[in-house]
């Protein structure tokens, strides 16, 4: 087991309510926080909150932009040891007939960003003595409704991707004959409204738990 102090954690979607709470909690715990978002103005306000917070505007749905982000982060901060993926949003309602293609493409951006970010920083997380990847998913995955079919499908895909990352962590350690040091986890919520601080506390606690205990787990937040 370890601690988050001194570790570099990237938050994708840092200017959301949950992103702000997690950024502040991680910085207070001594982490170096790489706060990433698409709105430079919101990031500028966040940058003034503490010396442990570095801000980077980026379109996380562009692979080239994420690769450029990695170069900037490595140069100015260093390797990334943790990733918290909070890029998301909601569109739905109207039953199955109300699930428009435009709505799906909007929601799909979250999954696209997860793929680009996790793949780009995978080597960093694996190389850490306590690498962590965490996403926030939804209880809709377990009980999808027609009015939220697009949303549930994207969240299910994100969970599957995260579990695949977890399997890769486990296989890499096993093939190297090494102790597992990286873990990928899913936080599952009905809604994050009112749970922003609870999520932040759980994120900080990821570094207080053994990677083998955490890897490929679903953590409910209520």
Q: What is the pLDDT of residues 72-112, one digit of tens each?
A: 999 999 999 999 999 988 888 899 999 999 999 999 999 99
Residue 89: per-residue pLDDT: 87
Report CA torsion sign: 211, 217, 218, 222: negative
Mean per-residue pLDDT, 150-170: 98
Contact 35, 76 (CB under 8 A): no
What local confidence, expressed as pLDDT, does residue 44 receive?
Answer: 87
Cβ neighbours of residue 202 under 8 Å, at least 6 residues apart? 187, 219, 221
pLDDT score at 36: 97
CA distance 110 to 206: 22
**pLDDT for the residue 2:** 65
- Arithmetic mean of pLDDT over the chain: 95
């Amino acid at each position: 087991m370890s601690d988050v102090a001194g570790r570099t954690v990237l938050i994708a979607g840092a200017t959301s309510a949950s992103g702000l709470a997690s950024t502040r909690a991680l910085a207070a715990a001594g982490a170096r926080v790489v706060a990433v978002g698409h709105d430079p103005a919101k990031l500028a306000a966040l940058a003034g909150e503490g010396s442990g917070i570095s801000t980077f505007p980026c379109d996380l749905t562009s692979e080239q932009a994420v690769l450029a982000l990695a170069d900037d982060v490595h140069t100015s901060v260093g390797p990334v040891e943790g990733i918290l993926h909070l890029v998301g949003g909601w569109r739905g309602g109207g039953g199955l007939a109300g699930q428009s293609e435009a709505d799906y493409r909007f929601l799909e951006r979250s999954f696209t960003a997860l793929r680009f970010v996790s793949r780009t920083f995978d080597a960093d997380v694996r190389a850490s003595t306590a690498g962590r990847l965490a996403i926030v998913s939804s209880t809709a995955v377990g009980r999808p409704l027609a009015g939220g079919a697009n949303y549930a499908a994207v969240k299910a895909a994100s969970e599957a991707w995260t579990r695949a990352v977890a399997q890769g962590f486990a296989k890499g350690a096993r093939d190297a004959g090494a102790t597992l040091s990286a873990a990928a986890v899913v936080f599952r919520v009905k809604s994050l409204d009112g749970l922003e601080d609870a999520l932040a506390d759980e994120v900080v606690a990821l570094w207080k738990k053994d990677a083998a205990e955490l890897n490929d787990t679903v953590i409910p937040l209520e």
